[in-house]
A and B are shown apart, each in its own frame.
Chain A
Amino acid sequence: MKILKLIFIIFLIFPFHHLKADETDLQNKIIKNLRCLICQGQSVYDSDSEFAISLKLVVKNKINDGLSEKEIYDFLIEKYGEWILYDPKFNKNTYILWFLPLLIFLFGGAIVFKKLINIK
């Protein structure tokens, strides 16, 4: 009986479902990066629309099925298009998006550099 009590107490002190804490972290990370398509402007994480609730569940199921973060994004892009991601992927459609700030920075740097040389 004492042993049973002890086991019960241990069970209460250490809730074993916390072993899955990193899975919840991954789920939150993914759904924070997803745009809710019903209430546009909110992430799936923030939204409580029917669509967002289902999508949270789908992401959770996919994680349980052992899919990686990238595989889940690919699955959702195939269904809803690239727009569902807040963090756009690097491909031929987004080259300008990713490179433009860098180009502008380089261009500005070149102007400053030229001015400095002229002053000298």
Chain B
Amino acid sequence: MKNKTITTIVIFFFIFVFLIFYKGLNNSNIYKPSNNENKIIPKFSAYSFFENKLINSENIFNQKKFYLLNIWASWCVPCRDEHPLIMSLKGNDKLEIIGLNYKDNNKNAKKFINDYGNPYSIILLDKDGTKAIELGAYGVPETFLIFENQIIKKYIGPLNSELILEIESFIK
């Protein structure tokens, strides 16, 4: 009797362990935090790209409209792919697009803007990558949709046409 109970427990234990591992097989082991949305954007100050003037973040995100903060660099190939899509968002009254130039060389960045167009109303400089960390970003490209100083949506990696539609549905 006792032996039977032990055998049953052992069998169930192994089935349980097997199920856990089996379920884990399909899970991605790349971690992406989801807790960064609906957070107040941190205050920071950065130099602007064209005027080289120190700008406070409080003076940028202060109006009652949507802001799209796009972290980009001229050396980043996916940024080049998403750039036409960001250009297509330009000209919307309810949306202001802000660029954060990440660890870039000024000359190359200017060439990038000249070649592919400038969708940004302001471009901020992040020479050492510390501002991106303050914002909770990983690297380039990364895009934040901000409304009333809150991060509504965060896109890690390049934007695609579906995500552009999603952004447009947000700002409707």
Instruction: Show the binding face of A for B, using Cβ within 8 Å.
Output: 37-38, 40, 49-51, 53-55, 57-58, 61, 79-81, 83
A79/B36 in contact, CB under 8 A: yes
Mask: chain B, 101-130; 1 = CB below 8 Å from A; 0 = not: 001000000000000000000000000111
B33/A57 in contact, CB under 8 A: no
B128/A81 in contact, CB under 8 A: no
Residues of B contacting A79 in the complex (Cβ-Cβ under 8 angstroms):
36, 133-136
Nearest CB on A from B140, distance (A) = 8
Nearest CB on B from A51, distance (A) = 5
A83/B33 in contact, CB under 8 A: yes
Band of interface residues on B? 10 to 19
Minimum CB distance partner of A37 in chain B: B138
Mask: chain B, 18-55; 1 = CB below 8 Å from A; 0 = not: 00000000000111010110000000000000000000
Nearest CB on B from A103, distance (A) = 16
Minimum CB distance partner of B76 in chain A: A50
A51/B33 in contact, CB under 8 A: no
CA separation between A54 and B31, bound complex, in Å? Answer: 19
For the A-B complex, the count of residue pairs with Cβ-Cβ distances under 8 Å equals: 43
Minimum CB distance partner of A79 in chain B: B136
- B95 CB-CB contact with A under 8 Å: no
Residues of B contacting A53 in the complex (Cβ-Cβ under 8 angstroms):
129
CA separation between A79 and B33, bound complex, in Å? Answer: 9
> Known: A40-B30, A79-B36, A83-B31. Is A50-B133 also a contact (CB below 8 A)?
no
CA separation between A55 and B136, bound complex, in Å? Answer: 11
A54/B129 in contact, CB under 8 A: yes
B133/A55 in contact, CB under 8 A: yes
> Known: A37-B31, A40-B31, A50-B103. Is A80-B129 also a contact (CB below 8 A)?
no
Residues of A contacting B138 in the complex (Cβ-Cβ under 8 angstroms):
37-38, 51
CA separation between A118 and B149, bound complex, in Å? Answer: 68
B33/A81 in contact, CB under 8 A: yes
Nearest CB on A from B102, distance (A) = 8
- B159 CB-CB contact with A under 8 Å: no
Residues of B contacting A81 in the complex (Cβ-Cβ under 8 angstroms):
33, 35-36
- B100 CB-CB contact with A under 8 Å: no
CA separation between A80 and B36, bound complex, in Å? Answer: 7
A54's contact among B29, B33, B36, B132, by CB below 8 Å, is which? B132
A80/B139 in contact, CB under 8 A: no
A50/B129 in contact, CB under 8 A: yes
A54/B30 in contact, CB under 8 A: no
